Amino acid sequence: MKKILLVLTLLFMASCAKEEFATRKNSDSFGTDPTQTVNSEMCSKFTYIRPPVDLLFVWDNSRSTSFISSQTKTALNNVVNNIADRFDYQVLMAPLIGSGNNETYFFSRSGINPSGVTTISRYAASNVISNFSGATGTEEAGLTRIRDLVKLNQLNGALRKGAHTIIVIMSNEDDNSWVPSGSGVSGRHPIGERYMKGISHDLLCMRGNYNGSLYDQSVFSNEEKAMFGITRTTYATFNRTCSNVGNYELDSSMMRFISLAPSVQPSSYNCPQISKGELNYYYHKASDLIYNQPYSNITGSNPYPFPRSSNSYNGFGYNDNINVCTQSNFNNIFDHVNNSIVDAILKHKYNYWKVAEPGALIDPNSLIITKYVRGSSQPGTPILEGASNGYTYLVGEKYNFATRYSPSVGEEHSGHFIRLNGNAIVEYPECLVVSYQTPQNFYGYVKLNSKPVESSITLKINGQTINKSSTNGWQLMKSGSNPAYYSNFNIKVTSPTDDTPATPVMNETGYFLKLYGNAIYSDGANVEVNFYPTGN
């Protein structure tokens, strides 16, 4: 009986499946992180500045004037107080009938003292007009007076290059200095037309960015010379191309000629503010001509980025003409002076742009750069890689790196940068959208957590079986004839064709399969390895 039980026990043990007692296979699966896409958006900046504004007030000081009153003083005070708050101002005040800088007064925000003029406090401005010496005589050469004052006072710095140049003339008459003996004052006389256009031409030459179009209209024909006994060719002092303007060129961001005078109303002479009731044409016409002359070079060489189009400035009244005959008071007659000047900003311009933070991993070949204008409904414009009108990636990280070049070097950043070339340069209010991918990683090894039986190893990468091979497969790393153990091993390689270790490293601990050829995997891969451990 004991023998039978022993035999049955042995048979039972022999009948148990091998799998219930054999070592089980290790099954390891893992995935690599996918390549990351990083998006960023940054806009250019700007700096508010006080617009440089130069005002030339030319005030009627003839015996017949009726403009100097408490109302006009209040109006002038309003202008002075307003410009003091908003602008980098310089104000020159001169009598209409006078010579050179005699009785010419000046005040400014900066407190400079130009030679040849009397510097005053801005609070004394309204009183100055009361103290101009009363002029005698019947001739009024307002346009010539203004041209001479502009020429004289830019050489001493009272009128600056690149500023808004605003000329305001107040008169109860019209310019009659051109009148030949026996000719009437009123009306549109051919000599007056030539005179007015010649002076306007000179003012525009000094303004700059002017095509000289008024010059030909200011030249007397031979018939006109003979008819009126004129020996001169034109009243203009600068030639048609303004090439002889020399140091007198202001290169104004904007020039305005605002005339405060009785309007031309041939059928009506009712103007209670004007003692003689003398109507005006040439001041108003000069204002209109200067207002409507386009700027032939909108960008120009002007250092201040103000708008440069006469159509951008719509004056109070009609084309900078103020009909003083319709004024019941003068409190608001200078409103258009303030409203005509656009608050200015200095646009920052960038020839370098930060694309990634310090320490970021970036694949330069994956960069996508798009430029757009902030607030615009238009789609962005791609900026391509290129040295002419594109971007160039700067290798390596930089620290405290200046990205802009105008209006000054500034806005330092640290990280990864591109250089912007040609029309890729960014200027306020433009923005850049930057997209890039982290560098693709390649892995030339598969870790095994325990010592394997080499013949039992099976490997799948992304669902595809990888066979043992030194061409496009795997080989177990050994020490002699045994699997080798590594405590700190970098599994990253440079590329599928370069198995040198890559950085930053990814160290693992264990036993390893070395991969060859197209068996090398990269980011976003799924790896599965199965094997029997040896048990020792």
For the chain, residues classed under CATH 3.40.50 are: 50-190+251-344
Average pLDDT, the chain: 82
Fold observed for domain 50-190+251-344: Rossmann fold (3.40.50)
Per-residue CA distances from 303 to 84, 208, 290 (Å): 22, 13, 22
At residue 317, does pLDDT exceed 50?
Answer: no
Q: How confident is the model at residue 130 (pLDDT cuts 50, 70, 90)?
A: confident
- Sign of the CA dihedral running 243, 249, 252, 256: negative
Task: Supply the pLDDT for residue 305.
Answer: 40
C-alpha 344/C-alpha 336 separation (Å) is: 17
| 8 Å CB contact between 391 and 369 | yes
- Cα 412 to Cα 283: distance, rounded to the nearest angstrom: 52
Q: Is the pLDDT of residue 3 over 70?
A: no
pLDDT band at 259 (very low <50, low <70, confident <90, very high): confident
CA-nearest of 317, 320, 328 to 69 is: 328
Out of 107-116, 289-298, 404-413, give the one with best mean pLDDT.
Answer: 107-116
Task: Look at the pTM and tell me if it is higher than 0.75.
Answer: no
ω into 439 cis (within 30 of 0): no
pLDDT bin (cut points 50, 70, 90) of residue 219 is very high
Any idea which of 102-111, 132-141, 161-170, 271-280 has the lowest mean pLDDT?
271-280
- Would strands 105-108 and 118-119 be described as parallel, antiparallel, or unpaired? parallel
For residue 494, pLDDT over 80 is answered with: yes
Q: What is the pLDDT of residues 319-336, one digit of tens each?
A: 777 776 665 555 555 565
Percent of the chain with pLDDT over 90: 51
Could you tell me which residue, 51 or 142, shows the higher pLDDT?
Answer: 142
CA distance 236 to 202: 6
At 17, the pLDDT band (50, 70, 90 cuts) reads very low
Q: What is the rounded CA–CA span in Å between residue 420 and residue 403?
A: 10
Give the tens place of pLDDT for each residue, 469-487.
Answer: 999 999 999 999 999 999 9
- Residue 157 reports pLDDT greater than 90: yes
First vs last Cα of the chain: how many Å apart? 42
What's the pLDDT at 520?
96
Which tokens belong to 348?
């920052």
Distance CA 457, CA 28 (A): 11
Give the model's confidence band at 513: pLDDT under 50 very low, under 70 low, under 90 confident, else very high. Answer: very high
Mean pLDDT of the region 262-276: 53
Confidence of residue 284 (pLDDT cuts 50, 70, 90): confident
Query: Which three-class secondary structure string do you get for 183-242?
Result: CCCCCCCHHHHHHHHHHHHHHHHHHCCCCCCCHHHHCCCHHHHHHHCCCCCCCCCCCCCC
Can you say whether the dihedral through the CA atoms of 234, 238, 244, 247 is positive or negative?
Answer: positive
Report which of residues 86 and 147 the model is more confident about: 147
Query: For residue 125, what pLDDT band results from cuts at 50, 70 and 90?
Result: confident
Res. 65 pLDDT band, cuts 50 70 90: low
Mean pLDDT value across residues 289-314: 54
The residue ranking higher by pLDDT, 18 or 357, is 357
Give dist(CA 368, CA 371) in Å, integer.
10
| Token pair belonging to 162 | 């690149």
- 468-473, long-range: CB within 8 Å, 24+ apart, which pairs? 469/516, 469/519, 470/516, 471/516, 471/517, 472/516, 472/517, 472/518, 472/519, 473/515, 473/516, 473/517, 473/519
Give the tens place of pLDDT for each residue, 411-427.
899 999 999 999 999 99
Please tell me the predicted confidence (pLDDT) of residue 6. 38
* Confidence bin at 367 (pLDDT 50/70/90): very high
Over residues 430-447, the pLDDT tens digits come to: 999 999 999 999 999 999
At residue 312, the pLDDT reads 35
